[in-house]
Amino acid sequence: MSNMDRTYIYADHAATTKLDPQALEAMLPYLTEAYGNPSQRYAFARPARRALREARETVARCIGASPEEIYFTSGGTESDNWAVKGSVCPGGRRRIFTSTIEHHAVLHACAAMERAGCPVVYLPVDAAGVLPPDTLRAAVTPDAGLVSVMLANNEIGTVEPVRELTGIARQAGALFHTDAVQAVGHIPVDVRDLGVDMLSASAHKFGGPKGVGFLYIRSGAELSTFMDGGGQEAGRRAGTENIAAIAGMAAALEASVLRMEENRVHLESLTERFRRRLAASGLDAVLNGAENRIPGSISASFRRAEGEMLLHRLDLKGIAVSTGSACNARSTELSHVLRAIRVPEEYAGGTIRLTFGPENTAEEVDYIVNCLREIIGG
C-alpha cells in the first residue's frame, strides 16, 4: 500500500477518536436555535433541560447506573480529581491505595493528597500490568479511605480485575474508584456488576466531543462537593452545563455500545494480524500487556530502537502512532508504566503504542508493519 492511497493512517484511538456523526447531529440544535440555559424555568429553556435529562438517562443506561448517579464534568481528568480528592475526609479514613500504572490524572491527584497529609500506598503490578487482588488484600489497612485502580490501562491496554478488587475494598470499608476512560464504550461496563463506588469516563475516547465526561457516584457514597457556585449537578459540581457536548457524549456512547461487539471482532482481527505480521517480519520486539486487554490496543517494544524516532519516521510515512500516553507525549522520559511492568532496558526505549479503530483495515496493518521493517531493519 502506498501512503498516497490514503491521506493518513490514524492508529492512535486511545489518544482521541473521530466525532461520531450521530454525536454531531445530536449536538447541532444546542449550538444554534436551542441555546437556552437549562437552569432557567421559562419555556425557551425547556429543550436544553430536556436534553440534559435525556442524556443523563442514556449514559446511566449504558453503564447500568441510575440517572441520579451520573454527574457531568469536563472530562476524565476532572472526574479522576473529584473522585480522589473528594472521597478522603480529613480526620477520618485517610489512606489511599492505588497502582503504579495509573493515569497521571490519578497519580498527580494522589500526590496532591499526600502533600495535604493523606498517606498514599502505590501498589506494584505484575509483568503484564495486572494488579493481583492478593497484593491489595495484603496491603490494605483499617484506615483505608479510598482504593483507585483503573479499569483499563491507557498505554498497554491491560484490563484490571476490578470486580475482585472492589470486594477487597468493601471488606476494608474503603470506597472504590476506577478510571474507566479507556474502557467505557469499548468493553461492557456495568457499575453494579463491577461493584465500584465511582467511575470516570471521557467522551472523546468513544466518539464524543472533547471537553466533556462524567463521574458515576454510587447513591449513598460520600463524596465532597467539587466546585462551588450554582446548584447544577445536584449542587455538587457548579457551572452551567455544556448541553451540546453532553448531548453529543450521550449519543456517541449509545452508538458505541450498540456497535461494541461488531467493533470488538474487527479490532481483534487487526491486532491478531499485526502480531502475525510482526512475528514474520524478523524484527526483535516484545509485546506488552495482558491477554485480557482493550480491543485494538497494542504496545510493542523494539530492541535497541528509539520510540521518538519510530514515531517521527512513521509520521513521515503517513502513520499516526504514540510512544505511550498521549497526555504525556511531550516527555521523552521512559513511561512510568513501562518501568512498572519491567520491560527490559534494551527494549523499553523503543516502545510504540498502536490503538486501532473501526475505520482501520487489514491493508493498513500490513503497511504499518512493512514500514517498521523498513525503518528498523533498514
Apex 267 CA angle, 4 and 20, nearest 5: 75
How far is 1 from 282, CA to CA, in rounded Å? 20
Q: For residue 28, which phi and psi values (nearest 5 degrees)?
A: -55, -45
Give the H/E segment covering residue 121: strand 120-123
Transcribe 58-79 into DSSP letters: HHHHHHT--GGGEEEES-HHHH
How far is 57 from 258, CA to CA, in rounded Å? 16
Cell of residue 3, nine digits: 501512503
How far is 357 from 118, CA to CA, in rounded Å? 40
Beta-sheet strands, E only, within 193-335: 198-202, 213-217, 285-288, 297-302, 319-320
Contact present, 45 and 39 (Cβ < 8 Å): yes
The candidate with the shortest Cα–Cα distance to 289, out of 376, 354, 230, 365, is 354
By annotation, the residues acting in catalysis are 327
What is the Cβ-side half-sphere exposure of residue 350, based on CA atoms within 13 angstroms? 18
Contact present, 298 and 324 (Cβ < 8 Å): no
